[in-house]
Amino acid sequence: MTDPTTTTAELNVTSWSPGEDVIEVMRTPAPGPARATWRTFRETARGLMTTFGRLTEKGVTVQYPEEKTPVYPRFRGRHKLHRFEDTGLEKCVGCSLCAAACPADCIRVVAAENTPENRVSAGERYAAVYEINLSRCIFCGYCEIACPFDAITMGHDYELSDYDRSDLIFTKEMLLAEPLERTPLRNEGE
Amino acid sequence: MLAIVGYYEEWWIQILKAVVIFAVGLQLVPVVLLAERKLLGRFQARYGPNRVGPFGALQPLADILKLLTKEQFRPSTSIGFLFVLAPLISILTAVAAFAIIPFGNVQHIFGKEVGLYGIDVSIGPLYVFAFGGIAFYGIMLGGWSSGSKYSFLGAMRAAAQLISYEVSQGLALVGVIFTAQTLSLTGIVEAQKGMWYIVPQFFGFLIFLTASFAETNRAPFDLTEADAELVGGYNTEYGGGRFASYYFAEYLNVLVVSGIVTTVFLGGWLMPFGIHPPGWVDPFVVLFKMGLVTFLFIWVRATLPRLRYDQLMSFGWKVLLPLATLNALVTAVLVVVTH
């Protein structure tokens, strides 16, 4: 049993140095009954004042359905598929790289050829079927990185619960649709 | 005017009073319940319940409705008759103890003299301790008859705790009784006309308050229901209406202790600075003071962590009991010397 007032330097530790930012705990000797009683009362009073101070403060609770914590710009929420703004054509060319990159194997792409009469995307082919099974998705964002045309990005929507598993399979139309702005975005420096 | 001690009304007034006091107690418990949850929230920088009704005011109602509509459940290892009886004992003793809290002196209502209390027994504090002693059976039998080890451990802790702290609680009041020279609670209030007993009996007040925290099984002495170790303590196996009874009794006990503290140390219905309001104000003064003491209970609960069991026992026997004895002794000497 070492003396509690011993510092680390005095212990002659040569094999390992904790460095400069070591915290040394200095313990005073155990107080006598009178001082212990006084300390108990003083610390109890201090604790009571601490909690009393909280009464005048505003609560930190975010009243969730009414208020929402704003998300960061890089927050990975529900996916979005994009179109070119000028031509309105889909950016996705059905290359299935996202499906290949997906660790959860939740993306299904069936590609089809664009024809002059039916031009859907800007490239040679387009995604005839594009489905993301959100009950399997782990929101890692690899699909976004894999995509050579920035056709798929992670949005900010995180309120995705549903009553049926099959409702969580999002089709191309659902992913292309402009999502309801349900999630506030955090401003710069907030 | 001196208090009229040991005054009894006609039988029908007594029955009426019993109903009124029960009704008032019943109305106060949900208020305390809500106040506790709201205040605990504020103490922890939260808001507390605010969804049911305006500002969460209907939360206790929702809680009680939920509990009362639940299925009555009983473990197969339990002892049926005691399992049902135990919550009833708890609630009965709590309501019975509530009966002696004086809300005001004898008033003239419709030409009759009516004391604003259930009964003014000539053994006031002893009556409270007697019912406190019986209340322990409610907890003990409930924990024991549940047939569960956690309930049993909770009940055992409650037994040891109640016995050790009742002694100090009683001794803390002895000083007041010496000074007031009466055991009647209305008499004790009247004796505080000059000065409330919280000033001359400050140590007695502190000891009584500390012992009361343990007696009502509230933080920091709520070891009987230490959730971390004992699931829920003696009421682990209870649910629905029976659990509601225990809960009700617990909060009513807090009210009873607040009432006793108000009566014995805070001057009951007396107002400070010699203000003498009309008689009908008295109950509101008492309720206000009870509210302050209840606030103190909640405040302490929000602040102090739960003690370890051996700390609790050694504090009760080695610190509180000698202090209470010393307090009674010094008071006795002072009373003899000054008279």
pLDDT at A13: 53
pLDDT at A109: 92
- Report d(CA B326, CA B322) in Å as an integer: 6
Angle at B169 between CA B132 and CA B181, to 5 degrees: 100
Residue A46 sits at the chain B interface (C-beta within 8 Å): no
| Interface with B, mutate which of A41, A42, A43, A61 (most B CBs under 10 A) | A61
CA-wise closest residue to B126 among B179, B205, B200, B182: B182
- Cα distances from B127 to residues B122, B253, B260, in angstroms, run 9, 14, 11
User: Is A30 inside a domain boundary?
Assistant: no
Q: Which residues of A touch B299 (CB under 8 A)?
A: 48, 51-52
Q: Which residues of B touch A60 (CB under 8 A)?
A: 45-46
pLDDT at A23 over 80: no
> How far away is chain B from the Cα of A99, in angstroms, using its nearest Cα?
44
Q: Is the CB of residue A70 less than 8 Å from the CB of residue A185?
A: yes
- Report d(CA B1, CA A188) in Å as an integer: 73
pLDDT one-digit tens code per residue, A118-129: 888 888 888 889
Instruction: Tell me if B47 and A55 make a contact (CB, 8 A cut-off).
Output: no
Q: Is the CB of residue B126 less than 8 Å from the CB of residue B100?
A: no
Calculate the dihedral angle through the C-alpha atoms of B271, B272, B277, B281, rounding to the nearest 10 degrees. -30
User: Is A103 inside a domain boundary?
Assistant: yes
- Using CB atoms, which residue from B47, B299, B304 is nearest to A59? B47
User: Is A132 inside a domain boundary?
Assistant: yes
- Strand segments, DSSP code E, in A55-157 are 79-81, 107-113, 125-133, 152-154
pLDDT at A9 over 60: no
User: Is A125 inside a domain boundary?
Assistant: yes
Q: Is the CB of residue B123 less than 8 Å from the CB of residue B55?
A: no
User: Is A47 inside a domain boundary?
Assistant: no
Residue with the bigger pLDDT between B225 and A13: it is B225
| Interface with B, mutate which of A54, A56, A57, A63 (most B CBs under 10 A) | A54
- Strand segments, DSSP code E, in A17-82 are 79-81
The two counts, helices (H) then strands (E), for chain A are 4, 5
- Report d(CA B109, CA B111) in Å as an integer: 5
Considering only alpha carbons, which residue of chain A is nearest residue B320? A37
- Report d(CA B306, CA B221) in Å as an integer: 6
- Where do the domains of chain B lie? 11-338
Q: Which residues of B touch A48 (CB under 8 A)?
A: 299-300, 303
- Using CB atoms, which residue from B39, B45, B304 is nearest to A47? B304
Considering only alpha carbons, which residue of chain B is nearest residue A43? B304
- Using CB atoms, which residue from B46, B47, B303 is nearest to A51? B303
Q: Is the pTM of this model over 0.80?
A: no
Average pLDDT over residues A142-166: 89
pLDDT at A139: 92
The two counts, helices (H) then strands (E), for chain B are 12, 2
Query: Strand, helix or coil at A25?
Result: coil
> How far away is chain B from the Cα of A50, in angstroms, using its nearest Cα?
8
DSSP-derived secondary structure letter, B52: S
DSSP-derived secondary structure letter, B160: H
> How far away is chain B from the Cα of A42, in angstroms, using its nearest Cα?
13
- Report d(CA B157, CA A166) in Å as an integer: 53
Residue A66 sits at the chain B interface (C-beta within 8 Å): no
User: Is A166 inside a domain boundary?
Assistant: yes
Confidence of residue A1 (pLDDT cuts 50, 70, 90): very low
- Using CB atoms, which residue from B44, B45, B303 is nearest to A47? B303
In the block, residue with structure tokens 């003696």: B234
For A94, the domain range is 79-176
Instruction: Tell me if B46 and A51 make a contact (CB, 8 A cut-off).
Output: no
Alpha-carbon Rg for chain B in angstroms: 20
User: Is A29 inside a domain boundary?
Assistant: no
Q: Which residues of A touch B42 (CB under 8 A)?
A: 54-55, 59
CA-wise closest residue to B162 among B204, B127, B129: B129
Confidence of residue A10 (pLDDT cuts 50, 70, 90): low
Q: Which residues of A touch B302 (CB under 8 A)?
A: 51
User: Is A185 inside a domain boundary?
Assistant: no
The amino acid at A184: P
Q: Collect all residues from B whose CB is shorter than 8 A from any CB in A.
A: 39, 41-47, 299-300, 302-304
| Interface with A, mutate which of B38, B40, B43 (most A CBs under 10 A) | B43
Confidence of residue A190 (pLDDT cuts 50, 70, 90): low
Residue A61 sits at the chain B interface (C-beta within 8 Å): yes
**Total domain count for chain A?**
1
Q: Which residues of A touch B303 (CB under 8 A)?
A: 44, 47-48, 50-51
ipTM of the prediction:
0.71
Average pLDDT over residues A155-167: 87
Instruction: Give every residue of chain B whose pLDDT is below 70, as ranges.
Output: 1-9, 106-115, 118, 226-228, 279
| Interface with B, mutate which of A51, A55, A57, A67 (most B CBs under 10 A) | A51
Arithmetic mean of pLDDT over chain A: 83
Instruction: Tell me if B304 and A52 make a contact (CB, 8 A cut-off).
Output: no
In the block, residue with structure tokens 């996916």: A79
pLDDT one-digit tens code per residue, A77-113: 889 898 888 888 888 898 999 999 999 999 999 998 9
Instruction: Tell me if A59 and B46 make a contact (CB, 8 A cut-off).
Output: yes
- Report d(CA B81, CA A167) in Å as an integer: 52
Contacts from A165-174 at CB under 8 Å and sequence distance 24+?
A165/A135, A168/A133, A168/A134, A168/A135, A169/A131, A169/A132, A169/A133, A169/A134, A169/A135, A170/A78, A170/A79, A170/A131, A170/A132, A170/A133, A170/A134, A171/A129, A171/A130, A171/A131, A172/A81, A172/A127, A172/A129, A172/A130, A172/A131
Domain CATH code at residue A87: 3.30.70.3270
Beta bridge partners of A112: A126
